Amino acid sequence: MRIATWNVNSITARLPRLLAWLESTGTDVLCIQETKSTAEQFPAAQLRELGYESAVNADGRWNGVALLSRVGLEDVVVGLPGGPDFGGVQEPRAVSATCGPLRLWSVYVPNGREVAHDHYTYKLAWFEALKDAVAEDAAGARPFAVLGDFNVAPTDDDVWDPALFEGATHVTPAERAALAALRETGLSDVMPRPLKYDHPFTFWDYRELGFPKNKGMRIDLVYGNKPFTGAVSDAYVDRDARKGKGASDHAPVVVDLDL
């Protein structure tokens, strides 16, 4: 069974590439972030033609998440239970569902913007709510994972130049502590250690030739519980999906499971 997570940076702009990628990779379940569409605009019909059901949480702004599955889609929960508001709005940053033998979450953690910004406080509160929401499933016997754009680089090895990020979001002790607290519910990073290759970044800025120069970050993660990680046969970043004109600034993270 193959699952993946991908911040597509606009489902509308990336749809042809997405459809081709799904067909070529044989992915069974895909978690999507940053749809930048409303639920009504989401291309569920085109995806259904490829055999995928869709669960969508989107309001047309810069966020939005989805789960695509061709192995079943049941017990869908739209939103983050107990999640905080920002500016009086419950942003569409989470959706979860049972996909065949798996329980999965697709999440798009708030960026945080700047350490002194209200959005940073919101980010930490959002992490706390996520930890509480997943704790029961994380400790359970069913294979379970949280996938998505976490907007945190877990270690200094996960950014291309740690010195350049000093004092900035994505690498602060508080953000990394929030990520560690999430893992303490019973989850762990599925990316193999030691890594198969150096710096498997998942995000490269469009500016300043970020991708050709490999000036990237690893912020798209897959955190699974023991039944999930015990079934992992491979995990990798599909860098090829980041290449060429019209690509998202993120690459998919792909996980193969023997279930």
Q: Which DSSP string corresponds to 80-137?
A: -TTPPPBTTB----EEEEEETTEEEEEEE-----STTSHHHHHHHHHHHHHHHHHHHH
- Clarify whether 149 is annotated catalytic: yes
Q: How many domains does the chain have?
A: 1
Q: pLDDT category, 200, cuts 50, 70, 90?
A: confident
Is 258 annotated in a binding site? The answer is no
pLDDT value at residue 250: 98
- Average pLDDT of the chain is 95
pLDDT in tens, 15-31: 999 999 999 999 999 99
Catalytic residue among 52, 122, 137, 149: 149
CB 65 within 8 A of CB 35: yes
In the predicted structure, residue 193 carries a pLDDT above the cut 90: no
CB 95 within 8 A of CB 80: no
Catalytic residue among 52, 158, 236, 250: 250
Is 220 annotated in a binding site? The answer is no
Across the range 36-62, mean pLDDT stands at 96
Is 158 annotated in a binding site? The answer is no
Q: pLDDT category, 62, cuts 50, 70, 90?
A: confident
pLDDT value at residue 196: 54
CB 169 within 8 A of CB 111: yes
Query: Which pTM value belongs to this model?
Result: 0.97
Catalytic residue among 28, 52, 108, 120: 108
In the predicted structure, residue 199 carries a pLDDT above the cut 80: no
Phi, then psi, of 120 in degrees rounded to 5: -70, -45
Across the range 174-191, mean pLDDT stands at 97
- Clarify whether 108 is annotated catalytic: yes
In the predicted structure, residue 14 carries a pLDDT above the cut 90: yes
pLDDT in tens, 99-151: 999 999 999 999 999 999 999 999 999 999 999 999 999 999 999 999 999 99
Is 249 annotated in a binding site? The answer is yes
Domain limits for position 36: 2-257
3-class DSSP state of 148: strand
Over pLDDT 90: what percentage of the chain? 93
Q: pLDDT category, 61, cuts 50, 70, 90?
A: confident
CATH number at residue 174: 3.60.10.10
- Clarify whether 122 is annotated catalytic: no
Cα separation, 220 vs 8, whole angstroms: 11
pLDDT in tens, 66-97: 999 999 999 999 999 999 999 999 999 999 99
